[in-house]
Structure formats: C-alpha cells, structure tokens
Structure 1
Amino acid sequence: MSTRPHRLPLVPLGRAVLDRAAERRADLDDLGELLADPDTRVLEVVDSHCPVLDTQEGPRLQLRAGRPGDSARLPVFLGVDDERHAVVALVGVMSEVVTPAVETPDAAPWRTLREVGEHLPDAEVALMTTALALHHWHGTHGHCPRCGHPTVPARGGWVRRCERDGSEHHPRTDPAVIMAVVDDADRLLLARNVGWPQGRFSVLAGFVEPGETLAQAVEREVLEEVGVRVTDVQHVGDQPWPFPNSLMFGHTARALGADLTLQEDEIAEAMWVARDDVPRLVEQGIWIPTRSRLSISTHLMEHWYGGPLLP
C-alpha cells in the first residue's frame, strides 16, 4: 500500500473560525436590545439561502444592521466579530420570502452554502454554517419531546424551552462516519446510493449508532453496505455538515477482502478503482465525483488519489 499523510488538509467547513461568545447567551432570552444596537451585524437566512455579494476577492456574506421587525424573524446570537460586535442570524422559516425585506440598489443574490462555502473566508464560513444548522433545528423542534407543548427560543436562540414543564432542549448534532476503504492492491472502494443518478459514485458513509465508537461505526457500515470487513481504521479529518445537522468524521480503512455483497435497499452499485483507471472513468462519465470541494468526500478521494480530481 502507498504511504499518505495521516491527516487531510482542512476542508472548507472544517476551517471555520467563530468566536461564539457563549458566555453571553444566558442574558439573551430577548435579542431585541441587541438588534437595536447599530453595531450589531445581521445575517438573514431564508430557506437555507443567505444574501451573498460578488466582490473582486470572491463571494462575501452580506451582513446588515438591524431593522424594525427583525425580532419576529427568530433571531439567534451567533457570536462576535473581530471588533467584538455581535452577529445575529435571522433563522425563522419564511418560505414566502425570497428577497431582502428592504430592497436596495446593492441587494445581494441569495445563495446556498453548497454554492459558495468553499470560497468564503473562514469567519464567514463559520457564520453561514452555524446559522444554517440552527435554522434547520429551530424549524423542526418547535414542540417539547416530553409533553408535546410548543417551545420558545431562549439563551440567544441556543435553547428551546417548554413553557409547560420547564424543560430545556438544545440543538442536536448527528455524528456520521465517511470512509475511504482500500484493498491490498490499494484500490479505492466506491459505491452509488440507490437514490443517486447513474455515474455518481462516492466513498461510503453512515450515521453512528448509540453505543458505538467511530471506528465501530466504520466497520459496521462497510460490512452492512458492501459485505466487506475492514481493519486499521484511522481518523483523518472532520467537518460540520449542516444538511441538516451532521458532524462528519473522515476515516481511512483497509479491507480484509475484495468480494462485494451489496445491501440492495441502500447500494445500487459498488466497485474497486485503481488510480490508473480514474481518468478513463471520469472521461466516460462512469465515475463523476462531486463538483465541489465543500464535502470531505472529495478530499478523502483526492487523499487516496494523490492529487486533485476536480479542475
């Protein structure tokens, strides 16, 4: 087997830097005063889109001052910027809104994290990633899991509190493993999920189950999905993945055999790929990796390949 650096270089969502100033959340059940501060910067989120400006340096988030009515949009305190000014995201679900509340000549187009995440500065990647994760969480956790009563946001939007039983509920993150598995010939295992189009292959991935370690989850998922036992599981990198609320743990592993037995309700196709086969497969459209470096999956494949797979 070839020798590769143990760790992946930082992937876009893994290099995010954010001063969350979490010590301020306890005093922020009501963000109205913070939104009225002219130094506060506001990031809008609408149906997983944020306003993004095109500049000579690349895409940049459009942050604005607070406006009347922002408190009704479910504000969330994200943290502070380099000048210690508060940054607040408006994460309320407003499907009918597709343009800024106030049109201006410099209004930015609305874009998704998948579209611009790999090009944003580290601090802005962190703001958008965190805002989207909280946007998804608030949109799906409006009721108490204990008694079913509606919950209300508290602690700067980082808690939802049940007004009936007083219980507090926090944003959830689902751990998932994603793994580059190679055999004794150093071929990479690729698979196509049953819901993917023809030609789209990637490395295997799956959620960590209760009671498992990350390595155990890697071993179980590979065995379940393609019938291969693995060993030498090594963690090589990780990244948040707010689609809607995962934390991806990247691994490498060595297969103890090459025979594939597919889990039919999960995997449509699987194959072992040698490096010499990659240019031909990509040219023929048999293997079409993701067109973005945003996901750790691309970096795992390039880590094995020894170079870029995307132009």
Structure 2
Amino acid sequence: MEPSLKRKLRSGSGPFVAVKMTHTPKASGQEFVSEVSIIGRIHHVNVVRLIGFCVEGSKHSLVFEFMLNGSLDKYIFPQERTVSLSYKHMFDGMARGIDYLHRGCNMQILHFDIKPHNILLDEYFNPNISDFGLAKLYPTDDSIVGLTAAGGTMGHMAPELFYKNIGEVSYKTDVYSYGILLMEMAGRRKNMSPFAHHLSQIYFPTWVYNQLNEGNDIEMEDASKEDRRFVKKMIVASWCIQMNTVDRPAMNKVVEMLEGDIELLHNPPRPFIAPREINAGDAIETIRIFSDI
C-alpha cells in the first residue's frame, strides 16, 4: 500500500483530501473491497470519513478527508516532541470511536489493527480511526467470530489470534489492542523495548501493572497536572489486555471507566505474558515473538 497523498478534488473547491492508492491484481483486491464496504457504513466523529473511491484496472484509490496532523505515532514515539497531546482527549475519543464500530452500526465492525499508525489527527488533534483493510463485518448479536487466518500488527495483536485454546476471537480482540495503545501513549514508548534501562521494563504492560499494583506513579515527561492524574487510569489498560477474553471489558464499559471516578476502579489481575523472572535470553525470545521492532 502506498502512502496517502494530499490532493485537491478536480473542482478545486473545498478542503484537501487524502488519496490512498494501491496497485493490486484484480484477483487480490479483497483488502480494497473490504475497506470500501466497511468504512462506507461509518459516520462518527472519531472515525476517518471516506469521501469516494476509484478503480481503474489494477489501480485502486480511496479518497478520505485529510487529517492535517498525520498519525499518532509521530507524537508519541519520536525523540523530540513539539506537541503535548491531552491524554483524556485522546483516550476518550479513541474509545468512543471503537465502541461505535462495535455497537453503533447495523453490523458489528471489528478493526483488527488498532495501533498508533492507524490513529490520524485532524487540525484540532482529534483522533480518527483509519485503515480498515483488515476489518471484518459481523452481525451485532455475534460475540464470537470465525477467522481463517490471523491479521494485525505484532505487538498489538491479542493472544487469542495466536493461541486458540485461551479464548475465542471477538470484539474483545480490539479491546486488547486499544489497551496496548493506551500504554504506549502513557509511556511514550512501544510496548516492548530491548533498550529499557532495566530488564523488568522490557515488557511495558508488566511494568505498568507492577507500578500501579504497588501504588507508584507512572513517570511522564512534559505532562500537565491533569494528564498526570488521568494517566493513573492506566488501570483501565491493564483490564483491556487480560489474557482471558472474559476478563476484558467491552468498549462501552471502557468508556464508562475512563469517564468515571478513578477511586472506584479496582486493580485487575496480572496481565498476560508477564514473566515472573525475566532474563536476557527470555527477553530476546519474547521480543522475537511479540514485538514488531
């Protein structure tokens, strides 16, 4: 898939648009067809809007509303950050967008690729969920879905996509990816890092859980007092990444937890893939399996 291009419509009037182009043989255009059919159903303030599409032979184009500030990863992973994002603003917006996908349409939409690169920011830094190439449609009364193959990005994919014996694939799969995304935003780092100062910090969700469980604050750079208070709700992220899908909350419950009183939140069980004693060899193997870095 080629990067999106900033363009004006032929009329020359109206705002800029983003054109996403791909050159795909007709027999292999399922991702394009899926994205058009799914995103065309969506009308939500926190989901990027599809304006149109074009097919000419092997050339396929999707036309979206243009997101002035690009993708979220540019603001949480780089060495030098020039913009400070509001945690509450970002967390709540993404949660409401995913909840809409799961419950707001006549069909349940599972994204399967929630990650910083797929969260686009408009001129006011409002988050918009994008890239529905891996998304699937299911009846709203189906809590469990059938998949012939796993899809997504390593490091953000839920464990049930790898290990069928620990739970069924469902809307809770997106909940897991959202929890990882929250942790990456709070820590301004990827969820796994072989360059952490301490081996106990290599798998970030485990470190976050230990900090919260011990009553310690999660250190953040350049964060306001309100952001520091709100980031304590990383406890919500720890609930989202539970190994057992039954233990993860639905997205509407996640929204309630984020908007509710922090004092009423209870600590979750230890998140999955939490090595009791991690050594260098284990860290390398864990990174090889679960990280995209």
Q: TM-score range by the shorter chain?
A: under 0.3
Higher strand share: 1
Larger Rg: 1
TM-score (structure 2 length as normaliser): 0.25
Higher helix share: 2
TM-score (structure 1 length as normaliser): 0.24
The structure with higher relative contact order (CA 8 Å, sep 6+) is 1
